[in-house]
Amino acid sequence: MPARLAIDGGAPVIADAIPGGMHGPSLIDEREINAVTEVLRSGKLFRFIEDSNVANFEKEAAAYLGAKHALMVNSGTSAIICALTGVGIGPGDEVIVPGYTFIATAAAIVGVGAIPVIAEIDDSLGLDIADVERKITPHTKAILPVHMQGVPCRLEAIVELAQKRNLLVVEDCCQCIGGQYKGKYAGTWGDAGAWSLNYYKVISCGEGGLIFSDDYDVYERAAFAAEPGLPMWMSDSEWQNKPFSRQCYRTSEILGAIARVQLSKLEDILGHTRRLKKAFTAELAEEPKGYIRQHVDDPTGECGISAAIIVHDVELAKKYADALRAEGLNAGTAYNQGFPDRHIYTYWDSILFKHSPDASGYPWKDPSYKGNVEYSRDMCPQTLSILGRALRFGFNVNMQEEHARLMAAAINQVDDALG
């Protein structure tokens, strides 16, 4: 007989609160403080100096990823904009993006003058490859897969489709720093990848971003996109591409100094979160009654910072969430009608209503664009159905494996009673 749930008067599985916190920001110590202090004492805060922290971070991140080139900028959004510019995306182009990602991903597409085409997700919480194929038109230039919450999406299938249809791939790895997929780092499967170093990411310098690619032309074009004064600051005038001017996404030495220290802690962070996720997964029921687990193509390579279960129907998902909260495990469905979570396309008002920064209607009415993309709040019903039934759980560096096991035990108890 199932144990009495806490919501019905039983004792909660989790008596003490699960520790909260972030990943990299929770591990800030004297090393970051000393690195910033050294920059401040030097008075050299501009990135184009000898032995620059920013330049060294770029080299160290590229070496970590096994990428030939890397460029640090001031945010993850800027990184995606520069990556798209680097591969040649611009007015007249369509770029396919999942309906589950922060609005910044779609905004970056608009930022280069291209058109976001919103596609469904599947039980991986990443792009649904079948819907991606349906959304390809003669105007499609690229696919922009997103590795949400540290879990790489179905990369192999996406890259194969892109190669078959002669499309570019730019990977949004903003929430998946250090994640791997079948032996290669997320972001190195496509033509370019992007990290975010925002406060909420795996490692952080408060705000920052990184573009990386094996293609020098992509790197150089991304560099022009990030720095309109680049020919002035760089000594080498032998550009392979004609310099062009865009907006400025330059970062500072202070952020570069913090990022270098945080990068040195990345493997320790991921080692810890992966152990937490492994302990959680091992404790979960092998044959749950009321849900399926989020599909993970490569469990060994994910960051281990999140897990998700997808309950069989919406009403049952709400009951699970209420019961889990009573057991001491904070839970809620990813999509709640009326709550404006900008990670879900239905709340991307500026995209759905084609808001332009000026009267031209750019980019949707740009003369270069010959397509006709229409949006609506219910255009991706599969995505809304999955997210309306998905309960996500996070793992952070302040937790221990016992916390992860208790989280799974709470889920098991609720599933046993309600499933």
In this structure, what token pair is assigned to residue 343? 């990670």
CA angle 82, 85, 90 (to 5 degrees): 140
For 312-329, the pLDDT digits (tens) are 999 999 999 999 999 999
Listed in sequence order, the residues at least 6 apart from 259 whose beta carbon sits closer than 8 Å to its beta carbon are 53, 57, 72, 197, 203, 205, 208
Whether residue 171 contacts residue 194, with contact meaning beta carbons closer than 8 Å, is answered with yes
Beta strands at 140-143 and 168-172: parallel, antiparallel or unpaired: parallel
Average pLDDT over residues 248-271: 98
Q: How confident is the model at residue 239 (pLDDT cuts 50, 70, 90)?
A: confident
pLDDT at residue 69 greater than cutoff 90: yes
Q: What local confidence, expressed as pLDDT, does residue 232 receive?
A: 57
Strand partners, 391: 309, 333
pLDDT at residue 2 greater than cutoff 90: no
Average pLDDT over residues 282-298: 96
Q: What local confidence, expressed as pLDDT, does residue 99 receive?
A: 98
For 9-40, the pLDDT digits (tens) are 999 999 999 999 999 999 999 999 999 999 99
Q: What local confidence, expressed as pLDDT, does residue 234 receive?
A: 55
Average pLDDT over residues 340-357: 95
The rounded distance, in Å, linking the Cα atoms of 58 and 53 is 9
Q: How confident is the model at residue 92 (pLDDT cuts 50, 70, 90)?
A: very high
Average pLDDT over residues 54-63: 97
Q: What local confidence, expressed as pLDDT, does residue 347 receive?
A: 96
Could you give the domains of the chain?
A: 27-265 (3.40.640.10)
Q: What local confidence, expressed as pLDDT, does residue 387 receive?
A: 97
pLDDT at residue 235 greater than cutoff 60: no
In this structure, what token pair is assigned to residue 229? 């004064």
pLDDT at residue 233 greater than cutoff 70: no
Which of 225-229, 230-234, 262-266 is predicted most confidently? 262-266
Q: What local confidence, expressed as pLDDT, does residue 236 receive?
A: 55
For 190-224, the pLDDT digits (tens) are 999 999 999 999 999 999 999 999 999 999 999 99
Proportion of the chain above pLDDT 90, given as a percent: 91
pLDDT at residue 338 greater than cutoff 90: no
Q: How confident is the model at residue 231 (pLDDT cuts 50, 70, 90)?
A: low
Average pLDDT over residues 100-129: 98
Strand partners, 171: 193
The rounded distance, in Å, linking the Cα atoms of 178 and 270 is 8
The rounded distance, in Å, linking the Cα atoms of 19 and 398 is 6
Proportion of the chain above pLDDT 70, given as a percent: 98
pLDDT at residue 267 greater than cutoff 80: yes
